[in-house]
Copies of this chain bind each other. A is one copy, B any other.
Amino acid sequence: MDGRKIRNMEEFAAVSGISRPTVSKYFNDPDSVKASTRKRIEAALEDYDYRPNIFAMNQNRRLTKNIGIVVPYLADPFFAEIARNLEWRCIEAGFTPILFSSHGDTAHECDILDGLRALKPAGVLLAPLGRASDLKAVEQFCADVPTVLFDSFLEDIGEAFVGSDNDQSVALIVEYLCRTGEPPSFFEMETPANPNANRRRLAYIQSMEQLGHEPDIVRAKGEGWDFENIGLTEGASAINGKAFKSNTILCSNDRLAIGVLGAAYACGLRVGLGNGFALRVAGHDDHPFSRFTCPPLTTVSQDYEAITERSFEALFAVIESGGRNSDRLTTLFAGQLVMRASA
Given A58-B55, A288-B75, A294-B261 in contact, is the A99-B96 Cβ separation under 8 Å?
A: no
- Chain B residues with CB below 8 A from A77, complex form: 75, 77, 80
Interface hits, A97-153 → B, CB 8 Å: 98-101, 103, 114-115, 118-120
- Taking the full assembly, how many copies of this chain does it contain? 2
Distance of A292 Cα from B157 Cα, bound (Å):
36
| Contact residues in B for A83 (Cβ distance below 8 Å) | 74
Question: Which one of B74, B98, B120 lies within 8 Å of A74 (CB-CB)?
Answer: B74
Interface size class of A (residues with CB under 8 A): 35 or more
Interface string of A212-243 (1 = CB under 8 A from B): 00000000000000001100100000000000
Tell me, in angstroms, the Cα distance from A229 to B185 when the chains sit together: 31
Chain A contact residues, majority secondary structure: helix
Binary contact readout A189-210 vs B (1 if CB under 8 angstroms, 0 otherwise): 0000000000000000000000
Q: Are B101 and A53 in contact, with the CB atoms below 8 A?
A: no
Is A259 a contact of B292 with CB atoms below 8 Å? yes
* A 295-314 binary contact with B (CB < 8 Å = 1; else 0): 11000000000000000000
Would you call A40 an interface residue if the criterion is a C-beta within 8 Å of the partner chain's C-beta atoms? no
B265/A295 in contact, CB under 8 A: yes
Evaluate contact between A101 and B119: CB separation under 8 angstroms: no
A88 interface contact, C-beta 8 A: yes
List residues of A (30-71) whose CB comes within 8 Å of B's CBs: 51, 53-56, 58-59
Which of B81, B118, B232 is in CB contact (< 8 Å) with A54?
B118
Contact of A103 among B88, B115, B228 (CB under 8 A): B88
- Whether B80 and A96, one on each chain, are in contact in the complex, defined by CB atoms closer than 8 angstroms, is no
Q: Is A289 an interface residue (CB 8 A)?
A: yes
Bound form: Cα–Cα A74–B55 in Å = 27
A3 to B81, CA, bound (A): 43
Say if the beta carbon of A262 comes within 8 Å of chain B.
yes
Complex Cα gap A273–B126 (Å): 46
Q: Which residues of B contact A296 (CB under 8 A)?
A: 262
Give Cα A103–Cα B288 distance, bound, in whole angstroms: 15
Known: A54-B119, A80-B80. 15 other contacts (CB 8 A): A54-B55, A55-B55, A55-B59, A56-B59, A74-B80, A75-B84, A77-B80, A87-B103, A228-B292, A258-B289, A258-B292, A262-B291, A265-B294, A293-B293, A293-B294
Give A contacts to B, CB under 8 Å: 51, 53-56, 58-59, 74-75, 77, 80-81, 83-84, 87-88, 96, 98-101, 103, 114-115, 118-120, 228-229, 232, 258-259, 261-262, 264-265, 288-289, 291-296
Q: Could you list some 26 contacts between A and B, CB below 8 A?
A: A51-B114, A53-B59, A54-B119, A55-B58, A59-B59, A74-B74, A74-B80, A74-B84, A74-B99, A75-B77, A75-B81, A75-B84, A84-B101, A84-B103, A98-B98, A99-B100, A99-B101, A228-B289, A228-B292, A229-B292, A258-B289, A262-B292, A262-B293, A262-B294, A293-B293, A294-B294
